[in-house]
Structures are given as structure tokens and as C-alpha cells.
Structure 1
Amino acid sequence: MKQSTLILLFLHLSLWSQCQDSSTFKSIDNYLRETIKINEIPGLAVGIIKNNKVIFQQYYGTETLESNRKVNPNSIFRVYSTSKLISTVGVFQLVEKGKISIEDKISKYLANLLNTWQDVKIKNLLTHSSGIPDMIRFTDISVDATDAEVIARLTREKMEFETGDQFRYNQTNYWLLTRIIEKVSGQTFEDFILKNQFPESENSILFSSNSLEMLPNRVVKYNYNADTGKYEKSTNIDGIRAHSANGLAISLPAFLQWSIQLNKGDLLKDGTKKMMWKPFDFFNKRDVFGYGWEITKINTIPSYGFSGGNVSAYRIFPENDLSIIVMSNGYKFFPVQYQIINHIAGLVDKNLIDPYLSAEESIISNFMTKDYPSAQKAYYNNKAKNPKWNFENTLNSVGYTLLRKGMINESIKVFELNTRENPQSGNAFDSLGESYFVAKNYTVALEKYKKAFELDSQNNNAKDMIMKIEKAMNNN
């Protein structure tokens, strides 16, 4: 680690120490410790920047479950899709230098593209509005395949939708951005990012989309197996083609330094950042997303960021001079990276306290940790605070979390609650149908899917499941 990085780390730790006696620090620390306890998070690192100063930097738990090595400032967390933020900044650095334009067609830089790809622009890759097929959907694309082989495979597929029409998250988009960055810069993607965003932190950042690769100080990600009741190491391997989309591994001090430089204008000018954070004009007029950045509002206050692997997240609140970084290596019940950021934002800045989000966090926690009658009672207590609040998406997410954890009966109860709360929601009945289908109660599953289709005739999933169940029943 370079001397300048060590000095930066010392300054960070000094500011952290100054903050330790404050009530805000204690509130944040207590909240994080309780969150870790409830979700059984193995390891966690959280950093907060206010007015370009690190006001909180704390480490919890261990890097791995197989050792007692504590998470520390040298621990390198793989941030998965949060990597896209760094890649996006790289694209806009080239825009700022006049090397590319977001209005450029990708065919200007990439050869041998299908005719249907010819009108896709760089802005469509950034906003996931390209319509190009998502390469991770095709199991016959090997991580060792050449770029030409991947293109050849994808060209056998139809466009998923009209370019510009909608947001649909897609890893192909960022692989193509990688190729454009390399074509224009004359460098490998990794070298370009390190040189232009992390020139003094090379020992605190690396790229690897191979979960099995043994790397110094890299924290191990775990997935909870509900059947065994144990955490298991992630074995996902995506290869170097995924580096720009999910391969960044970084220490908290390096990430904090990057955030300060972004906010101060060292990485991008203010005008360029405004361009990057501007909502894209999707044809469907429904989706909301910036140019590579998720847009979230709390009490009408905008913030920008992204998350990755359900274990990391970054959010910046420009109007409040606040940035928050969360990096972890697993969770037992429910991904909490957004909950942590929203909760901390309210603790740091009262203008960012959102009663709805607080109620939502409480509802999720109750259903994950309490028996159903108690959780349901707490749900109605939260709902009573504001009868107009709607928690359809929250209950749907909780139900699916329980279903994935093998808690089928509990998931059915939550989905049933959601249909009672939202009797006109085809999606709520669709989810309930799926839980009964998993429970092998096909008669009730069919009934719920029919209700879902009755409420929403555009629900192709419900339509397909009705046909599937009826066919199976007739064959029996």
C-alpha cells in the first residue's frame, strides 16, 4: 500500500475516533449490531461521508467463517453489481474527454453486430434499455468462450424489446461497454479503471468474477442453505468478461476515498455528474433509472447509487452532502443493504427520516424473526400509523424470501395476507399461486392463478401456469 493511501487511512481512522463519542455514532453502531444479530451477517463494513469527511468507518465480524480473521481496513469485499458504478464513471470520463458520446451508436466501436443491434447507442447500454439478449440467460455460453463466440451465440436470439422502450437489467450491456472502453482507451478495462479512478489504491482494489479464486484479504461471500441450516461458500464463476459488471473487490478505505473524489469533482465535473444522474426517457414512461445509476427519493430528496449481490450498496445524497457504503458477505433471511442505508441516512440527517421506510423495515424484520401471529399483529400496528400506506411489494418480497428458505407454510400465510390486503392485485394472487404450487397443492394453486389472470389478462406467467397445471391434472 502506498504511503499516501496509508496517510488517508490514518486520517479516516482519526475522524472515526473523533466520532466515536457522539450519540450519532452510538446510534448507528447499535443499529448495525442489532441488524447483524437478527440477520446473522458473518462480516460487515460500513462507511459514511458527510461534507467530504469520513464520519463513520466501522468493521464487524470475520472475513470468513473458517477463520477468526476480523474484518478490517485491509479486507477486500467483492461488491458484485455495485461494480457497475465504477464502470459507469469510467464511461463518463471518456465522455468528458470527448473520446465518446452517449449518443454514439455502438456499431461505431464494435464490428460484426446484427442489423437489429445497429441502432443501439451507448446510452442504451448504460440505462439497460438496449433490448439486446442477456448473455447470462444462456447456459451454453462458457466463461472461457471468446468474444466472437459470445456475439455469435447472442445473434441467434431475437431482441428482447424495442431499443429504448424499457429498463431490463442486463449483463451484456456492461460487457459491451467494457469492449468500447478498451477500444477507445487502448488499455485493458482493469488498467483503465485503476489508472483513472484508483491510482493510489492498487493494493486495495482488484477485479475477479471468480468466487473460488484465492486472493489476499478478499472476504468470502456466503449463501445460506435453509435445508442444512448452514452458510455455504459462493461458488459462482463468471470469468473476466464480467469484471465491469460484477468483479470489483475493494477495501472500505479505498471506496471511501473514491466517493470523496467523486463528490469533490476529482473524477467527474459537476455537469457530467448531472448528466449521469439524469433520468433516462424510457418510451414506456414508467421506468425510472439514470445513466448507470439507480435513482431513489426519500421525502422527495433524490439519491443515486446501486447495489450488488444483495451484499453491497452505495448511495450518494448530493443535496445533503452525504454518502453511505455498505459491504457484507452474506445474510440469513433478507437482504438488508438498502434497509441499512435508509436507516443510517435518517440517523445522520433528520430530513432523510422516512416513516414509511422505517415501518417497512420493521415489517420485514418481524416476519423474518417472529412467529406469524406476532408478525401479523405488528404488521397491522404499522399499517394503523397510516392507513394509506401500501406494503404489497414488501409482503411479496417477504413471501418469496420465506419460500426460497424452504419455509413454505409461512410463505403461504404471508402471500394470503397480501391478497387480503390487495384483493385487486393480480401479482399478489400470482405469487400465492406459486407458493401453493411449490407446496404441491395444485388444486388451490390453479384457483389462485386463475384469479391472477382474471385480474390481469396480461399476466403471461399465470396463463402459462394455468395451462401447465391443467395439463398435468388431465394426464393424471
Structure 2
Amino acid sequence: MKQILIAALALNVSPVAFSQQTEQQKSIDNYVKEAIKTNNIPGLAIGVLKDDKIIFEKYYGTENLEDNKKVDPNSMFRVYSTSKLMTNVGIFQLIEQGKLSLEDNVSKYVENIPKNWQNVKVKNLLTHSSGVPDFVAFNDILPEYSSSQAIERLSKEKMDFTAGNEFRYNQTNYMLLSMIIEKITGQSFENFILNNQFSDVKNQVVYSSNALEKIPNRIIKYNYNSETKKYEKSKDVEGKKAYPGNGIAITLPAFLKWSSHLSKNNLLNQKTKEMMWQPFEFGNKKDIFAYGWEINKVNNIPSYGFSGGNVSAYRIFPQNNLTIIMMSNGYNFFPAQYHMINGIAAIIDKKLMDNYSLAEESIIAEFAKPNNQNAEKNYFKVKSESSKWDFEDTLNNIGYILLRNSRIDEAVKVFELNLKEHPQSANAFDSLGDGYFSAKNYNLSLKNYKKSLELNPQNTNAQNMIDQIEKLMKK
């Protein structure tokens, strides 16, 4: 006890506060270990900043499954689309310097763009409201294509919608942002980001959208194969044009330092950050998104962040001076990043407790179990906690995950439960149709597709499946 008191006093922390922090760390650690077990996560790094101090930094599991090398502070996790946050900050650094405006047309900086892209502005790229075609949707745009070659190919396609009207996630937006950065600065995109955001930790950050490239200490995502019941290392190769959207691999200490710089206004001033986190006004008046950042609210407290590849997530709570970083290399059932961020936030500050998210996590965990006989009972118990809660999308997602994991009978039961809960949902009927189709019960599948189409005549999937089943039944 004497040693603890001395350590607490040396850190200018009261014994009570020291004890509370220790208990909090234990609670986070126990929660994370349970999440790892539920989701069978191979390797994970978690970092938490509170009041500009690191209050939790821990490493779990292995970098890879081939030699069981342990995750440690040198492990560079590929964070996929969480990389977009650094691109966002880079753009706003140029805005802050007066070299760029949100209202600038992209054509001011990017040469030879298609005529129907002429009205697209910088703000539309950041908010995924550009309407330009997404290069990942076209298999003939090869990984080795330059950004200019990708644009030339995309010029043959129509706009998806009028710029500014709606949110539609799109990697071409970030390719164009990197071209703007290069045009203004005269530097390569990756050098600009490293020099202006990671100057003190350059050796802990690398850009590469090639999972096959051998990079020391870089951790690549594992995808779970439901047929073999084993993890397989990702082999995605996307080229340099994907760097601004998904290319960063970073250590947890470097990410924590970047976050500290962001919080202390070393990367952007406070006014610029507030501009970056303002909701964009979409034409459809429905979508909610800031300038490159997701907006989340818990108990009316705002937070901003993003996630990548279903294996990483970043969330900053400015009012609480709190930041949570989660980086992993795989999962075998349900993407865990958002639940883990929410769960850790609730442990640190009860005002940030998202009871719906915690309830959803409990439901998913029970259905994920190989022997999940109590899952439905648990669902109704959890649901009874609030009359406002609706888990239609959650059950729907669980059903499809069970299908992908070849747990067809369980999937059908979940889809049946969802329909029982939402008897007027066209989507619930459609999903049950998919479940019965996978179970080769074509009569019941056809019945549910027809009911779905009756409720939603625009359901093209139901119509296509009806045609397919009727042809099968004629043979």
C-alpha cells in the first residue's frame, strides 16, 4: 500500500483517483477480453486518451496466425478506411492556410475531369455527396492504374446523382482529394500527410494498399472462411490511387500521438476543427455526415470518427476530452468495432453509456454462440428493457451472418423471429425468403418473396428470386 501511495503522489494523483483509474483499467481490460472471445479476434490494440493523457494502452493476441508473433507497440495495423481521417485533416490544413476552399470546384485542381463532374466541389468529395462513379465498382480499373487513368475510364460512366443531393460512400472522392493535395503542395500525397501530421513518428506509419507487399511489423486483415472454419489472410491489392482512402498502417503509439496533436490543436486550430465537424446539408434533408467524419450522439453528447475494414475505429468526444482507438486484424461473426468503442466509452464515462448499443451487443453475442438455445429468450429479455428499442436491422444482419457461416437452420429461425416482430416489413419477408431459399424450401421461399413484393412493389430482389424459383420448380 505504501508503494502505491508513493507512486500516486509522485504522479500528483490522489490515492482515491489512482484506485479508481486502476479499477477502470481493469474493467476495460475485462470487457476487451470478453469481446475478443466473442468475436474470435486474432490480434488487437486499444488506446484511450482522457484529458490529454493516455489512460489505457494495451495489446492483445497475435500479429499473424502463421507464427503467432505477439501484438506489441511496434505492430503497424492497417486501418483501411480510417485512413480517410488523415486525408480529411490534410485537406483542412490547406483550407486553414488559405490555399483551398470547400466551395472550390474540383476542376480547378484536377485536369481533364469529365464534363458532368464540373459542378462537383471539394465539399462534395469530403461528404461523399459528389455523385461521381466509384472506381471500386469497375473490375476493369486495375490496381496499377494511375488516378488519371481511373478518371479517364470513369468518364464513360454517368453520374450516380446530382452533386450534393445525398450521401453515398465512394473511394473516388478520396482519390480526387489526394490529387488536389498534390496539385497544391507539389508533394506526393503520402509525403504531405507524413510530413504534416506524423513528423515525429514517421517510422511508425506506412502507406500501402497492397496486402501482398512485405512490410516489417505491418499487420494485414484476416477474413474468416465459413466453409473451412479458418482465417485467411487478405490478398487485396488496390494501388496508389487507394492510399488516401484505405492505405495507412500505423502503430498504436503513433495513432495516440496523432490524436493528442489533434486534441491540442497542433494539427488544426479549434475553429477549423469545428468547421470540419459541422453537419453537411444534403439535398435530400435526410443523411447525416460531417466533412469526412461520422457524427454520433449519445445522450445528446456529440462525437466524431470513422471506421475501416470492420477492423479499426476512431472516435473523439470533444466535450469530454476523450478519444478511443481500436485496431484489430479480423473477426469471425459480427463486426465489433462500434460496439467496442461504445462499450469502452461507457466504462470511462457513464454519461456516454449507449444502452441500445450495449443491448444490441448482448443480443449478437448470444446468437453468435455455437449452441445458442437461449439466444431468443435473451433477445426478448433485452428488448423488454425499453419499449422504444427496435432490433429489426440487428436481427436481419444476424440472420445473414449465420447464412454466410453455413448455419442455415439458425438463420431461418432468426429471420422467422424478425418477421414475427415486424409482420408488415417487406424486408423481413424478403430476408426470410432468402433463408428458405438457402434451405432449399422453395415453396415457403416463394410465398415470402411474393408477400414482400406485395408490400414493396419496388423490391427487385424479390421479383428476381420469384422468377428464379418458378423456373426451378418447372424443371
- The TM-score normalised by the length of structure 2 is 0.93
State, as a whole percentage, how many aligned pairs show the same letter.
Answer: 59
Q: Does 1:418 align with 2:418?
A: yes
Give the 3-state SS of the residue equivalent to 2:45 in structure 1.
strand
Residue 386 (structure 1) shift: 1.5
Please list, as runs of the form range in 1=range in 2, the aligned pairs for 1:392-407 lying within 5 A after superposition. Answer: 392-407=392-407
In structure 2, what is the Cα distance between the partners aligned to 1:42 and 1:48?
20
Moved beyond 6 Å, runs of 4+: 18-21
In structure 2, what is the Cα distance between the partners aligned to 1:395 and 1:418?
6
Residue 271 (structure 1) shift: 1.2
In structure 2, what is the Cα distance between the partners aligned to 1:145 and 1:392?
41
1:363 is matched with: 363
Q: Is the 8 A contact 2:146 2:240 kept in 1?
A: no
1:219 is matched with: 219
Q: Is the 8 A contact 2:41 2:329 kept in 1?
A: yes
Unaligned runs of 5+ in 1: 1-10, 12-17
1:246 is matched with: 246
Q: Is the 8 A contact 2:73 2:252 kept in 1?
A: yes
Residue 111 (structure 1) shift: 1.8
Please list, as runs of the form range in 1=range in 2, the aligned pairs for 1:292-331 lying within 5 A after superposition. Answer: 292-331=292-331
1:124 is matched with: 124
1:425-455 residue CA offsets vs partner (Å, 9 max, x unmatched): 2222222222233333333222222222222
In structure 2, what is the Cα distance between the partners aligned to 1:114 and 1:447?
46
Aligned-partner residue type, residue 39 of structure 1: N
In structure 2, what is the Cα distance between the partners aligned to 1:208 and 1:263?
27
In structure 2, what is the Cα distance between the partners aligned to 1:33 and 1:20?
20
In structure 1, what is the Cα distance between the partners aligned to 2:34 and 2:395?
22
Give the 3-state SS of the residue equivalent to 2:211 in structure 1.
coil
1:348 is matched with: 348
CA RMSD across the alignment: 1.7
Aligned-partner residue type, residue 321 of structure 1: N
Please list, as runs of the form range in 1=range in 2, the aligned pairs for 1:151-162 lying within 5 A after superposition. Answer: 151-162=151-162
2:463 is matched with: 463
1:79-110 residue CA offsets vs partner (Å, 9 max, x unmatched): 00000011111111111111111111111111
2:15 is matched with: none
Unaligned runs of 5+ in 2: 1-10, 12-17
In structure 2, what is the Cα distance between the partners aligned to 1:138 and 1:308?
21
In structure 2, what is the Cα distance between the partners aligned to 1:445 and 1:150?
41
1:286-331 residue CA offsets vs partner (Å, 9 max, x unmatched): 1111110011111121111010011000000111111000000111
Give the 3-state SS of the residue equivalent to 2:332 in structure 1.
coil
Aligned-partner residue type, residue 399 of structure 2: G
Residue 113 (structure 1) shift: 1.8
In structure 1, what is the Cα distance between the partners aligned to 2:20 and 2:76?
24
Give the 3-state SS of the residue equivalent to 2:219 in structure 1.
coil
Distance 1:400 1:109, change over 3 A: same
Pick which of 435-444 and 358-367 moved more.
Answer: 435-444
1:142 is matched with: 142
In structure 1, what is the Cα distance between the partners aligned to 2:19 and 2:49?
12
Give the 3-state SS of the residue equivalent to 1:324 in structure 2.
strand
Aligned-partner residue type, residue 334 of structure 1: F
Distance 1:182 1:130, change over 3 A: same
Please list, as runs of the form range in 1=range in 2, the aligned pairs for 1:3-42 lying within 5 A after superposition. Answer: 22-42=22-42
1:7 is matched with: none
Give the 3-state SS of the residue equivalent to 1:415 in structure 2.
helix
Give the 3-state SS of the residue equivalent to 1:304 in structure 2.
strand
In structure 2, what is the Cα distance between the partners aligned to 1:384 and 1:350?
21
Residue 20 (structure 1) shift: 9.9
Q: Is the 8 A contact 1:20 1:26 kept in 2?
A: no
Residue 19 (structure 1) shift: 8.2
In structure 1, what is the Cα distance between the partners aligned to 2:396 and 2:296?
20
1:108 is matched with: 108
